[in-house]
Structure 1
């Protein structure tokens, strides 16, 4: 395992009902218990949170310093802040889903674009079909289920793309994906994100103009750039498929009030690339749900 032509009519794999997405000390998405349709797999719903309040294994925490330092009056937006950060495209996929390879192929065409941060999250609810996806995690199933709750959907599907935290595309929708990215790129966000540093040691500066009306969560994502997998069993048995930007870790590192200019120190171990994502929270029934992605940048 490496470490470091699409049909207009697609049969979409129907997934399981819904799970959890975490803020530090706050759970996203356990606001209701929608029932899975009869055709959904009977695998146990994910119980593991996608993003955890503690520091992930791939990050070093300096015990002598707070992770987040409020820098009121000292941090200001840079004059060279771009008109728009890259648009985050999340692909929920599985090696056990027969409808996913065309979406994986489409996703590959966005993996190296500067204006897009393409992240593939492999879910685990198709593992029961005879092939356990080595990249699949319950945490990623939980994140997809949280998005479904935010959209008031009762089921999840693979393949599915979420653009900018808000636009959901089920199946292979090549033209719709282009439109969604273009639409979100045309809207300037109030959050200014500046990343400095290199070689695993970074500093992230956050500010908002105007200030946000609600807090946001700051997340660090690690991913494997590529892998080629020979699938031996299940619905895709006999295929060898190339995968790109495979998410390996997704963790919350801070809850930001969206008002105070803030400096965050990020230390990364290992060679997997990293991404910073600032995401809004939508009101849920007792707990918040994942909302619009307000800013994103690469740690490189």
Structure 2
């Protein structure tokens, strides 16, 4: 089941993957929605039917080869070059997506790691199929669409994980996700970040490193809830009781930085929710630094 949205005159198509194994096909058909004809497709196990073609994102040979390459690349770098900061993993998910629970389970495991900042962004584009995700935010869909445009992709999907702002991977592919995390941990940190929270006040200090891409950089403040529960009564997951880890409540740009010279910022984060400060190249591009301020 899929849909399409338009942003700035360009269509962004959406789909979800059920990638149950090597037999995976991308079905497509056209439908009429609000007077316009859009392309719609889904990825499921029924590959081989008339009108289907292999789903490139699901090809197991490609996934195994990529995982091996990432692991080798990580192991080839010297220990002294490894970044000290955590790796940011964004999961785009939905309570209306039957393919998402395995990725949601992976997010629970990532949320327990000190070397990873896992953030679950619930999207709203599956709400129309029968169940409105209570944690969905249109801003999350817009962020996912921005990543797609920046990467030259014409579609967005769930479950999708974005690692460190640059890697696009099917969210339920845990082996590949873990290999990408290790690869990013092995890279030198392009920006230094120190963040301290006292009550509602956060002090952030940024220092330029080596190998950072050109600015400007957006300094962002993310607030999230570590654990949320949902009793889903309709839609593809009807009858399921779901727990979600690190559900994003807000994602704000709180400052800009050109990357040339030290920058200090004073931020406000009211309430008890944990927070994360990110430095990301505009675009959106790579996430250059991240710090928890729980």
**Which TM class, normalised by the smaller chain length?**
0.7 to 0.9
Mapping for residues 64-103 of structure 1, pairs under 5 Å: 83-103=83-103
- Alignment root-mean-square deviation, CA: 2.1
Higher strand share: 2
Question: 1:138-149 residue pairs with structure 2 within 5 A?
Answer: 138-149=138-149
Contact 2:213 2:281 in 1 (8 A): no
Q: Which runs of 5+ in 2 are unaligned?
A: 15-27, 35-81
Cα distance in 2, alignment partners of residues 279 and 136 from structure 1: 23
Structure 1 pair 227–184 and aligned structure 2 pair: CA distance change class (3 A):
same
Structure index of larger Rg: 2
Distance 1:264 1:221 in 2: 15
How far did 1:267 drift? Answer: 1.6
1:115 and 1:18, CA in 2 relative to 1: closer, same or farther beyond 3 A? farther
With over 3 angstroms needed to count, the CA separation of the structure-2 counterparts of 1:203 and 1:157, relative to structure 1, is same
Residue 237 of structure 2: aligned partner: 236
Deviation at 1:251, TM superposition (A): 0.4
TM superposition outliers: structure 1 runs of 4+ over 3 Å:
13-19, 34-43
The answer on whether the counterparts of 1:18 and 1:155 sit within 8 Å (CA) in structure 2 is no
- The structure that is helix-richer by fraction is 2
TM-score by length of 1: 0.73
| Conserved 8 A contact 1:92-1:160 | yes
Following superposition, the deviation at residue 17 of structure 1 comes to 4.5
Question: What is the aligned counterpart of 1:296 among 285, 290, 293?
Answer: 290
**What CA distance in whole angstroms lies between the structure 1 residues aligned with 2:168 and 2:232?**
28
Partner Cα separation in structure 2 for residue 97 and residue 260 of structure 1: 45
Provide the rounded CA distance (Å) in 2 between the counterparts of 1:15 and 1:205.
Answer: 42
- Post-superposition shift, 1:242? 0.7
- Cα displacement (A) at 1:243: 0.4
Measured after TM superposition, the shift of residue 35 of structure 1 is 5.2
- By relative contact order (CA 8 Å, sep 6+), the higher-ranking structure is 1
How many corresponding residue pairs?
232
Contact in 1 for aligned 2:215/2:257 (Cα 8 Å): no
**1:111–1:245 CA contact under 8 A, matched in 2:** yes
